Amino acid sequence: MEAPAPDWSGLPADILTSVLQLLECPDLLRSASVCTAWHTTVSALRRVGVCPACQTPCLLYCTEAAGGSALGMYSLSERKAYTIPLPEPPINNWIGSSHGWIVSMDEKSDLTLLNPLTGDRIALPPATAMEHVKPILNDDGALVKYVVSYYDGGLPRVEDTPYASDLDEYGDFFYLKATLSSDPSKGECTVMLIHQPYGQLSFAKVGDVHWNWLKICNFYADCISHDEWFYAMTDKGAIDVFNLNGPAVIHKRVLPNMFLFGERSYIVKAPWGDVLQVDRKQILDRERPGDFAEQKRDKMAGIGDYALFIGKSTTCFFSVKDYSDLMPNHVYFTDDNHEELVTGKDDTRDIGVYNLENNTTGNVVYPEPWQMWFPPIWLTPNLANKGWQWVGYNNPIPIPDMLMCANIHPYPCPRRTSIVYKGLHAQAQQQQQQQQQQQQQSL
């Protein structure tokens, strides 16, 4: 007599939850379509913000077929492309990615935090709330252009001739990069923006009505957040740190200018504790955060069992021991040459994977599925949903609809998911055997 099929819907919630938290986002979405009980568990995980922690980065990009209503997402773990629906209004560009959210801008160059997998949006202060920007209104009082004034925090204040910009072009030219202090789905979050003129810094916390300008005379190339401090690196290699949590901004210079890095340079917190400075030619090892006493840099030959991601997204490391689909000692890069991007929107993009051992470069995917404008960006998926107001939808996207829109199907399951299902099957059989033994003992 054959044993009865296991009751997948009857798995204990704690066991199911512990397994679901091990899955990549596409597998997690597939799991939600198995049965009603699994759908409920996945929805609960997203609602309380408890989602799989180890998510392999994906490449987010625009496609001609999808237009402005959807995005393409290439999964490095599955070597497969998906389509993700987008809420209104359409995205005109993006300038940052962190914690599974992108910093996007609309047709007026106003910035918004967007989680492309959930559709959650959080509005940031408008462009007119920036220090250097003033609106131009027509006779009817409608916004038609921006006037941008050119000055920095140096004293005495010196101003160049103001520049009039179209609404949709302002952000392309004047926003350089943005990074986040934390996951917006968990509540508080601060956005640090590197912008023109002169690569300056402004920040805004979720709920603010204006951007806070940091009156400093430096051109910043990159910025990260670590232990409630923002680490900002100038194009000359200096490192400034900022704490924005008190009534007044705390600013310290922890590493002086040493040589010209250029705009395409990065700062990153390494998993082993050091702060690294990276450009397209070399990686320099700094000391641990808070310990910059020696004021020196050491050139690194490689990064060992780690993969490094650079571009418009927040610069970050991933261990190949935890993310087995990534290649060790490789740099995954997207194009962030700001001047070339905005002046050559139809040009081929500099996107690929660089092998630090043999100095060779390969494709992320071929043929390349993305449009040239706007350029792709790295995204670490995040399905957490804490109930922010949805813009463009009357209700959040139900998971089954998200599955269909994203072209993610529950069957056939990928290899990793199949292994998980086998484990669940064994657990279910064991539970049935225990129940049968208890029934026999009771007789």
Domain encompassing residue 279: 54-283+296-387+398-407+414-441
The residue-averaged pLDDT of 86-103 equals: 91
Residue 303 has pLDDT above 60, yes or no: yes
90 contacts 99 by C-beta, under 8 angstroms? no
Residue 409 has pLDDT above 60, yes or no: no
Percent of the residues in the chain that have a pLDDT greater than 90, as a whole number? 44
User: Is 66 within the bounds of a domain?
Assistant: yes
What's the angle, vertex CA 279, arms to CA 368 and CA 220, rounded to 5? 105
Other CB atoms within 10 Å distance of the CB of residue 184 = 26
Tens digits of per-residue pLDDT, 150-185? 999 987 888 888 999 999 999 999 999 999 999 998
Same domain, 176 and 30: no
Same domain, 70 and 48: no
What CATH number does the domain containing 249 carry?
2.120.10
User: Is 393 within the bounds of a domain?
Assistant: no
29-33, 122-126, 291-295, range with the lowest pLDDT: 291-295
User: Is 327 within the bounds of a domain?
Assistant: yes
Same domain, 59 and 44: no
Q: How buried is 340 (Cβ within 10 angstroms: 0-12 exposed, 13-18 middle, 19+ buried)?
A: middle
Same domain, 45 and 64: no
Same domain, 160 and 266: yes
User: Is 335 within the bounds of a domain?
Assistant: yes
- CA–CA separation, 149 vs 130, rounded Å? 11
User: Is 289 within the bounds of a domain?
Assistant: no
383 contacts 25 by C-beta, under 8 angstroms? yes
Tens digits of per-residue pLDDT, 190-235? 999 999 999 999 999 999 999 999 999 899 999 999 989 999 999 8
Same domain, 320 and 231: yes
Same domain, 112 and 47: no
Same domain, 271 and 246: yes
Sheet holding 377-379, edge to edge: 80-85, 70-75, 58-61, 377-379
- CA–CA separation, 271 vs 441, rounded Å? 54
Q: How far apart are the first and last CA of the chain?
A: 21
pLDDT, position 115:
92
Same domain, 207 and 233: yes
Residue 249 has pLDDT above 70, yes or no: yes
Same domain, 117 and 48: no
- CA–CA separation, 51 vs 41, rounded Å? 11
Same domain, 196 and 331: yes
The structural domain count of the chain equals: 2
Residue 285 has pLDDT above 80, yes or no: no
Average pLDDT, the chain: 80
pLDDT, position 169:
92
Same domain, 23 and 154: no
User: Is 4 within the bounds of a domain?
Assistant: no
User: Is 216 within the bounds of a domain?
Assistant: yes
- CA–CA separation, 417 vs 14, rounded Å? 18
pLDDT confidence tier of residue 273, bands split at 50, 70 and 90: confident
What CATH number does the domain containing 39 carry?
1.20.1280
The residue-averaged pLDDT of 338-358 equals: 85
- CA–CA separation, 50 vs 44, rounded Å? 8
